[in-house]
């Protein structure tokens, strides 16, 4: 069953009405047969659901074969997010930046846009020698929240938690959790499941940016094919 479309509040970008009535989302990456059998990196596709299992959004990666094979998890991409009626409601844009934990350069970033290309927020990686850290910015590039991940992002038989915290990191207001899916799924495919929690009254645009952060975290820390391993 598809979640019904609520009325759009003032200031809410078109198509994001769903987010005004939820405080958590489930993100399921689709398993691609070619990726399982051949180890070839295919375009990522996701289904975003609410807590009742109703589809809310569908996300599909736009990238070329050479970029996926040569650049792997650091590749640039566009991620098109559509609602249940096939209307595009968000576009996530990630440029190609080399990833390094040793130097504060070429940090990862993601721009979240609402059609027809209006920025609604940004996810900016913050340099840290051993912790995954990000800053959530609004459409004016003003810091709003931070995300702090664990020292070890090893996916060994347990969930991996990225806390959504205040700017001073003194209080947690939500989380992004990479959920363990079982040994066979983890060993033979990079298809992942995530849970996303945030306050119900959080600005709908910031909810959308946190959803974008979930996709960026998946690409950065859990996108590993057999060939790359």
Average pLDDT over residues 106-123: 90
* pLDDT at residue 107, rounded to an integer: 83
20-79 confidence digits (pLDDT tens): 999 999 999 876 554 544 445 567 899 999 888 889 999 998 765 555 555 555 566 789
Residue 210: pLDDT band by 50, 70, 90 thresholds?
very high
Q: What letter would DSSP give residue 86? A: S
Q: pTM value?
A: 0.80
Domain residue ranges in the chain? 19-120+177-221
80-113 confidence digits (pLDDT tens): 999 988 899 999 998 766 655 555 666 889 999 9
Residue 185 pLDDT more than 50? no
Residue 153: pLDDT band by 50, 70, 90 thresholds?
low
**Long-range CB contacts for residues 66-69, cutoff 8 Å, separation at least 24:** 67/96, 68/41, 68/42, 68/43, 69/40, 69/41
Cα(183)–Cα(209) distance, integer angstroms: 31
């Amino acid at each position: 069953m598809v979640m019904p479309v609520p009325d759009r509040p003032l200031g809410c970008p078109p198509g994001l009405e769903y987010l005004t009535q939820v405080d958590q989302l489930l993100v399921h990456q689709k398993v691609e047969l070619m990726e399982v059998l051949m180890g070839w990196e295919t375009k990522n596709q996701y289904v975003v659901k609410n807590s009742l299992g109703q589809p809310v959004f569908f996300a599909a990666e736009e990238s070329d074969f050479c970029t996926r094979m040569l650049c792997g998890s650091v590749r640039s991409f566009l991620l098109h997010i559509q609602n249940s009626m096939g209307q595009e409601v968000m576009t996530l844009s990630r440029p190609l930046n080399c990833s390094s934990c040793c130097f504060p350069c070429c940090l990862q970033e993601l721009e979240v846009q609402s059609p027809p290309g209006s920025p609604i927020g940004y996810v900016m990686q913050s340099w840290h020698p051993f912790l995954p850290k990000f800053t959530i910015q609004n459409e004016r590039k003003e810091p709003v929240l931070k995300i702090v991940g664990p020292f070890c992002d090893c996916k060994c038989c347990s969930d991996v938690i990225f806390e959504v915290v205040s700017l001073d990191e003194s209080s947690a207001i939500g989380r992004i959790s990479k959920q363990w899916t079982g040994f066979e799924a983890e060993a033979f495919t990079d298809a992942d499941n995530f849970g996303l929690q945030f306050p119900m009254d959080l600005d709908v645009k910031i909810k959308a940016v946190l959803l974008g952060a979930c996709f960026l975290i998946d690409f950065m820390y859990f996108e590993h094919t057999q060939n790359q391993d």
